[in-house]
Amino acid sequence: MESTQDLSHAVGLSRVLVGLMKGVVYREGDAPLWQDLLALQARVRDHVAVLGLELILDESEGYAFLRTRPGNEGEPELPRLVQRRALSFPVSLLLALLRKKLAEFDAGGGDTRLILARDEIVELIRVFLPAGSNEARLIDQVDTHINKIIELGFLRRLKAQGGEFEVRRLLKAFVDAQWLAEFDQRLAAYRAQLGGGEAEGAE
């Protein structure tokens, strides 16, 4: 017969797994769930490994998510539970610019939350694009791109401050330092794609 503690751990594990399967788990969003995740992370890793997934947990930044585990050579490839997403050029560019802005913000110290107004996000795009009709179209569609990035979990709309957005620190896990170091070369490639096309996004 299971003890009360065993049942409590089983319920906690189920809650954590369901939360992770739904998306990113944030410390600030659900403190009890976050504590269960920290206490049970070894068991969580064992469970998701069976599904070909791995747990990415950043205690200092306060987020956790699942991603497809890289396969070892010679292993049969498992069906993907976490699908790759093809991102449009404007969304890919805006993610890169937001990540660069976050790096600059962190280098300056001070507050841990990067808050940007819509006009500041528009300016990020405008500065890095050549003048012309493509620029005008991108600016006109910025709200669509912002909404997509909110859906991806990299921006959060601040209801109390209309027209302002928090850049989620989760973005650091998807656009790493090496990628950022190659930003100028990537930006040149992006400019060559201004007529359209898809840029492969992070999982």
**Average pLDDT for the chain:** 77
Q: Are 104 and 130 spatial neighbours (Cβ–Cβ below 8 Å)?
A: no
Q: What is the CATH number of domain 86-200?
A: 1.10.10
pLDDT confidence of 45, banded at 50, 70, 90? very high
| pLDDT for the residue numbered 197 | 45
Please report the sign of the dihedral spanned by the C-alpha atoms of residue 172, residue 173, residue 177, residue 179. negative
**Tokens 């656009």 belong to which residue?**
175
Higher pLDDT, 200 or 150: 150
CA–CA distance, 33 with 7 (Å, rounded to integer):
16
Domain spans of the chain?
4-68, 86-200
- Could you report the per-residue pLDDT of 100-140, keeping only the tens digit for each? 888 888 888 767 789 999 889 988 887 766 556 566 676 77
**Tokens 């841990």 belong to which residue?**
112
- Could you report the per-residue pLDDT of 31-41, keeping only the tens digit for each? 999 999 999 99
- Could you report the per-residue pLDDT of 157-187, keeping only the tens digit for each? 987 666 899 999 888 887 776 666 666 676 6
Q: Are 153 and 24 spatial neighbours (Cβ–Cβ below 8 Å)?
A: yes
Does position 12 have pLDDT exceeding 50, yes or no? yes
| pLDDT for the residue numbered 24 | 85
Q: Name 73's Cβ contacts closer than 8 Å, sequence gap at least 6.
A: none
Higher pLDDT, 62 or 5: 62
